[in-house]
Every structure is written in C-alpha cells, then in structure tokens.
Chain A
Amino acid sequence: MKSDGQMAIPTDWVKSERQVERERLRKQRSRRSSSIATVSTILVIILLFWVFTNSPGWPRVQETFFNSEQFVNALPEVLSGFLLNIKIFLIAEPLILIVGLLVALTRNLRAPVFFPLRALAVAYTDIFRGVPTILVIYLVGFGLPALGLQGMPTDLATLGVIALTLSYGAYVAEVFRAGIESVHPSQWAAARSLGLSHGRTMRYVVVPQAVRRVVPPLLNDFVSLQKDTALVATIGPLDALRQAQIHAASTFNYTPYLAAALLFILLTIPMARFTDYLAARSQKRRGQ
C-alpha cells in the first residue's frame, strides 16, 4: 500500500471466493426457476385436457372433429386445395407490397400537379379499409366479370387475388405511410441540405429507413393475409376450405376443417419465427 494516494494497478483477475459463491447461487436459482416452469406447464396441460375430455359433449366432439380416419381420408384433397391458398398468397403478397408502397408515396407527393392522384390515393385507402374483405371479394368476383370488358380475367382465383390485393393494399399503404412519417424530420433536413430533391430524399433516405421499421407490422399483415386467402373460397375456387366443406358435406364429419386449420397453422408459424429472426438480427446489428 502506498501512502501518497497512488493506487496499486491490478494485474490479472483471479475470481475471488465471493464471486465463485455468487455464481453458484445464481446457477442454483436459475435451475430452480426452470423446474418450477416445467412443473406448472405440465399441470396446466393436464388440467385443460381433463376439462375438455370430461365435458358432457366430449365423445361427440371427438367423433366429429377428431376422427383420425376422416382426417386421413380428407387430407390429400384438403392439401391440394391448400396449394391454391399458397399460390394466391404468393402472388398477392408482392402485388400488395407494390400497391401499398405506391399509394403511400402518392399520398406524400407535394407538387400541385399531383393533386388528383393524391386525392385518388386518399379515396382508395378510405374505401378499401372501410369495406369488409369478404364484400370486396364478392364485388370483385361477381362484379368485374359482369362488366364484360375485353381481357378481364374470369378465373376465380385470379379475381380473388385482385380482391385481396385491393383490400390489403389499403392497409399496407397505411403501414408504409406510418413508417415514412416516423422518420425524424432531422433526416429530411440533412438530406435536403445536401441538395437532394424531395424524390431522392424519399428514395435514398426516408423509404429505406421506413421499410426497415415496418417489417414487423407488415409480416403481421401477411400472417393475416395467409388466413384470409380462405375467404376466396366464397366465390368458388377449390381451396383448402372449399375442399374441407365438400368433404364435410358428404360425410357429416367436421374433421376436414380441423385438417385445413392445421395446414394454416403450419404455414403461419414459420412466418412468425421468421419475423422473430429478422427482429433479432436487426437488434444484433444495432447492439454492436
């Protein structure tokens, strides 16, 4: 120990006994936490199972919804119908992104010459966010072909894609617009001060930041879109829901609906995990 106020400079760190003991206690505590979590989860599952299987109607529900024989019979056709759902989804998704971004950008145009476009964009979002998706599907599905215009598609799945794009495009446009508006004004000031025009500022500075921010809400909308592809069944194409309906109608057994539900879940879970992955990745990059 020096007396003149200079402190000794520590050399290498050797864990003190106090620290070793601390870490032992921490480990012990975390082991206890995880065993408590396991036990309580098992108890909850048992309880739920007991409540369902002991309800008075359970035998009938089991017969009509959880019939393994019906499940195996219906699955191939429900699955083939489900491929149409995936196809509708995969085509509609990029179209929705394009429509949504274009509408959001149109609403942000400042030049007076674009006033009609801007008004049109506002009217579009107002109308298609207000009308229930299923009504849009009916109106497009039965209305568009009735116009008899040349080149108008008559394929029901195509009409379904158009309807979903119109309906979801309005939502996604609002998501993009919120993202654009969330970019801080100082970013606009910095970009404009460098001589970038409104359009270039949008393209290189604002939209890239906005898009990164709205990825989670967008994916959420897409999970919702995956389910809503089933609404197209109402105008006729043979998707998973329609196939399940056909089966159920001939056997009076609802297990095919359960099969369809399972397929939708199998599709949405990877999407949810993908959202988590993207969030974690951007977190990691920011945290450096």
Chain B
Amino acid sequence: MSLLTIEGLWKNYHGHNVLRGIDLTVEAHEVVCLIGASGSGKSTLLRCVNLLETADDGTIHLDGEEITDVRADADGVRKRMGIVFQAFNLFPHMTVLDNITLAPRKVHKVGREQAEAQARDLLARFGLAAKAGSYPDQLSGGQQQRAAIIRAMATQPRLMLLDEVTSALDPELVTEVLGVIRELKEGGMTMILTTHEMGFCREIADTVCFLDGGVLLERGTPEQIFSNPGRPRTREFLQSVIDARRL
C-alpha cells in the first residue's frame, strides 16, 4: 500500500481551476519533487494534502485512510504530517525551543523534559544548538528555516511537505537548508517538495513531477525528466530554467 495516494484531485479558487484532476502516489521513503512555473498549482497541492485547503473533488488517502472524507479528523491527520512554508511561519513570541516543543507537548502529550531533550538533540544535529533560547527575529533566514524544519520534524511525521523552503533565502543561506533536507532523505523520511532549485531537485528526488496549469503533465525519474522530457511543455519550462541559469 502506498503511503499517500491522490486520485482525481480538483481545486477551484474563485472560478479558476488551480488543480485539474491530479493523480499521484507516494511510496514510503520516496522523495517526490514538484516542479513547474509559479501558479502551476504546486503549493496548492501541498496545502490540500495537509488539509489547509479543502479539496473540491477527488480523494487523498494517507496510509489507506481517506483524509478527504468530510468526517475525517483533520487535526489527527495533520499530526502525522509536517509542513514547512516558504516564509518559515515560526511563532515570533516563542523561543526556538518553545516553537519546536509546542506540538510535541500540547498535541502529542510528551512531557516537557523529554520534549526539550529531543528538541535539543535535533537542534544540535542541525547546527542550531546555540540558538535554542533565541527568538525567531534574532536568527538569519537560513537559521529560521532550519528551525522551522526541525519544528515540523519534532513530532516524527510520516510525511514531510516542503513548500519552496529556500525561495525566501539569500543564495549563501540556501546551501545550509538544502543540507538539512539531504539529511532528512538519508534518514528515510518520505517527502514531497516544491522547489525552483533544479540542480538540487535532480540530486535529491526519486521522482520528479512537472505541473502545468494545474495538470500533472509528466512524471518520471530525474534522469528522464531532465535529460529526456517527453512533453514539449516540459522541455520549454526546463529551457527557460536553463536560460535563467538555475540549472
């Protein structure tokens, strides 16, 4: 059984179809990379999987359970996933440590000491041990995004969703965040990520999906998509990326 199965997913905003019948399966430990131009529906797809958006049609199954069911427990579903946003969305009134331990303590009912010990382990692993007591606005963008990734990981999710996590960062800070994602993959984390970093996508993805106008146009290994794209539209997109020197 696949970890995540999306079938015929539609999403409409103000009369505009952002997602048009998406079919996608994700196996455990697989890293799926969504590429496509801005507005192609990548972020909306992630937000639908996390139930931050309500699907207008189609189904999403997580571990065989239909999470798009109206009666599904949204909080229970979200407990099993982590999402990281482009703009970090750390809680500005809490220290980094409190940001990370909030969900383990209040949702998963882990004791404070244990939650903090786990958080400190993660912080040390990703080079943020010294920042546990800092507030988000005292950190650089790269440090904030690493803290946000740790926050999403702290509840040991089945699936991580990463939405343009490096797009708001200076080029020299991108590397440190990509390093964290690489580590996640080595640890066997199942991930769906959207990115404009094509080089990174090629390196880390098991599967690359090209979205265009809300349609999943092409799906394959990085080798297939980048070296031998089947569709003219994919070729066009990759060419524009090469022209912009992002590949």
Contacts and interface: CB of A to CB of B under 8 A. Distances in A.
A197 B74 CA distance: 9
A189, A208, A212, A285, most chain B CB atoms within 10 A = A189
A189 B152 CA distance: 13
A196 B137 contact: no
Nearest to B90: A190
Contacts of A191: 91
B225 to A, nearest CB: 29
B8 interface: no
A200 B89 contact: no
A116 to B, nearest CB: 25
B78 A193 contact: yes
A195 B107 contact: yes
Interface in B134-161: 135, 137-138, 151-152, 155
A200 B78 contact: no
Contacts of A194: 78, 82, 102-103, 107, 151-152, 155
Contacts of B135: 285
B107 A209 contact: no
Question: Chain A interface mostly helix, strand, loop or mixed?
Answer: helix
A33 interface: no
Interface string A207-223: 01100100000000000
A169 B137 CA distance: 34
Given A195-B75, A195-B78, A208-B93, A186 B103 contact: no
B71 interface: no
Interface in B109-138: 135, 137-138
Interface in B66-96: 74-76, 78-79, 81-83, 85, 87, 89-93
Given A205-B91, A286-B137, A192 B52 contact: yes
A195 B103 contact: yes
A122 B111 CA distance: 39
Contacts of B83: 193
Nearest to A210: B93
A200 B135 CA distance: 21
Interface residues of B, number: 29
Contacts, number: 62
A189 B86 CA distance: 12
Contacts of A193: 50, 52, 78, 81-83, 152
Nearest to B89: A190
Contacts of B82: 193-194
B78 A192 contact: yes
A194, A196, A285, most chain B CB atoms within 10 A = A194
A208 B92 CA distance: 10
Contact of B155 (A189, A192, A195): A195
B14 interface: no
Contacts of B79: 195
Interface string A176-200: 0000000000110111111111001
B106 interface: yes
A286 B138 CA distance: 8
A196 B107 contact: yes
A205 B93 CA distance: 8
B106 A189 contact: no
A258 B135 CA distance: 49
A193 B80 CA distance: 10
Interface of A: 186-187, 189-197, 200, 204-205, 208-209, 212, 285-286, 288
The 8 closest A-B pairs by CB, nearest first: A195-B79, A190-B89, A194-B103, A195-B107, A193-B83, A195-B78, A186-B89, A208-B93
Given A195-B107, A197-B75, 12 more contacts: A193-B50, A193-B78, A193-B83, A194-B107, A195-B76, A195-B103, A195-B108, A196-B107, A204-B106, A205-B102, A208-B93, A285-B135
6 contacts: A189-B89, A190-B89, A190-B90, A193-B83, A196-B106, A288-B138
